[in-house]
Amino acid sequence: MAVTTDAIIFEALQARLRTMPGVLPIAGPNVTFPAAGQTKPDKYLKVDFLPNRTRQVTLGDDPQQKIGIMQVSVMWPVGRGILDGLEVAGAIVNRFKNETLFASDVRITISSEPWAASPLQDTDRLMIPVSIPYNAFEPEA
């Protein structure tokens, strides 16, 4: 179980994604994907956690504001068009927009509507990055 604020935030956002109906397999940061002995699926989600600098809102030891982005990239096979991949990206946007999550006394607010960036073509995959901006305050000590 997470204890530090950034870890609590990541765990809560990850849980929200994992419980999304029809979610694709997820490649998390610094986790071997796919598991040993398995082949990489054609379609999956790649997660990156991008915390930003802590914002000091008040003087002293009051809880500070944590801001950042969780980026979920829809990884789609080449040669199958972009429409279905965009639908998955849109479902991720809808899953997080206007959300407030609570975890271990941390209130995590999706600070603006998530957005899907332009699709990026690689040799074997199309990647559609979805940025989910958040802000949260450290719990009271």
- The one-character DSSP state at 37 is T
Per-residue model confidence (pLDDT) at position 100: 95
The pairs formed by 83-88 with CB atoms below 8 angstroms and a separation of 24 or more are 85/43, 85/119, 85/126, 85/128, 86/116, 86/119, 86/128, 88/24, 88/43, 88/45, 88/128
Quick: pLDDT tens for 107-133.
999 989 999 999 999 888 999 999 999
Tens of pLDDT along 78-89?
999 999 999 999
Instruction: Render each residue's pLDDT in the chain as its tens digit; 141 residues.
Output: 788 999 999 999 999 999 999 999 999 999 999 988 999 999 999 999 999 988 776 666 667 889 999 999 999 999 999 999 999 999 999 999 999 999 998 999 998 999 999 999 988 899 999 999 999 987 766
Quick one: pLDDT at residue 137?
Answer: 84
Domains, the chain, with CATH or none? 5-137 (3.30.2000.20)
Whole-model pTM?
0.91
pLDDT at 122: 87
